[in-house]
Structure 1
């Protein structure tokens, strides 16, 4: 499987105006060739505004598959700019159907591990002025995913990306999104995802709540 870095992006939060509302967001990233240092905490020059839903040790790199750009351009009749989804890496050859939670990859000098599918937010729509895009990325399981850093090192736009180890549980990011958005009462599916040790804590908490609800449905 050939994997290519199409774009590498980094950026700090900034204040912007969406309509009449002021907001601070980290979704605006600038393209760079690198090299950038990827630490256990974050990517060099990169930070988030909302630490509850972004960043942290389980989300040091945000990834978006390059293959989806053409799909959304056709679906919405638009022309998305590079880095449209605020990702750090745009990768070709590694979609949500291909990555499993817990898979480890070498990216340049760094070693990273898939921790969760991305739960998109409305900031995507506000940034791009496209109504409903963020919801469709979730419903169609084309929302991207996150890496944690297992080994620090420099990464660059021309870095090689290769699979080091496939997680034995075989739980894809696509399966995770389908379960949460289309099959959240499926206790077996929820348990299957929860069984993956590498799963990010925020997803683990969310799925445990869904599992409790699935196992103890309210009457009438």
Structure 2
């Protein structure tokens, strides 16, 4: 896996977002320089894990479990072909546009080393991305939330286990994979279209975001 680009927000006002001030950071664009990645803190108090990035609605986005968002160029290309439009790196709001790896098959709790171990961060897969009103408004595609949900290829949110710098061209190495079945795609299906999978999602243990674990436990009860 390789980083094709590291993308930071170009904040702008929009009437399709519910954030304070009606400002969104979903429009992310590649930057040519290294970017420091750190754990931002809990949701609601911490924003993006990337220095210089913007989270428009910290109540629902950002924080430690959603510190970094990765989306594969291969998935962008598939959507571009279906939609009949160009989709540049960062347009889905992803911080890291990757190549050479199916991020949706990554396991919750899987760890990635970006770049050199000396200065590159260690990231841990936490969950997938749930499409929201802002995403739909930004793309401007009819029925976008339903279409994105049906594809069940949401891209991966990552925690920052060890801080460091990332840059376009960095190699990404999977350094550990847990022994369970809960991929990003499995997690997404469980919390959206297939709630019967919620109980099995608990196999990911403490690597699950707290909200997901509590939801699965309520389903089991």
Q: Which moved more, 1:73-82 or 1:172-181?
A: 73-82
- Structure 1, unpaired ranges of 5+: 216-220
Task: State the partner residue of 1:199.
Answer: 208
**Which is greater in Rg?**
1
Aligned position for 1:25:
24
1:114 and 2:121 aligned: no
**CA–CA distance in 2 between the matches of 1:31 and 1:110?**
19
Task: Kindly indicate whether the alpha-carbon contact (under 8 Å) linking 1:33 and 1:158 is maintained by their aligned counterparts in 2.
Answer: no
CA distance in structure 2 between the aligned counterparts of 1:90 and 1:135, rounded to whole angstroms: 23
Instruction: String of CA shifts for 1:137-189, please: whole Å, max 9, x gaps.
Output: 222112211000000111111211001100122311111122233321x2xx3
Per the alignment, residue 218 of structure 1 pairs with none
After TM superposition, give the deviation of residue 34 of structure 1 in Å: 2.5
Question: Is the CA contact 2:29–2:89 (under 8 Å) kept in the aligned structure 1?
Answer: no
SS of 2:39's equivalent in the other structure is coil
Matches within 5 A, 1:19-168: 23-41=22-40, 42-108=49-115, 109-168=120-179
Shift of 1:75: 2.0
Kept in 1, the 8 Å contact 2:5–2:169? The answer is no
- Partner Cα distance (1:96, 1:38) in 2: 19
CA RMSD of the aligned region, Å? 2.1
CA distance in 1, matches of 2:139, 2:124: 29
Count how many residue pairs are aligned between Structure 1 and Structure 2. 205
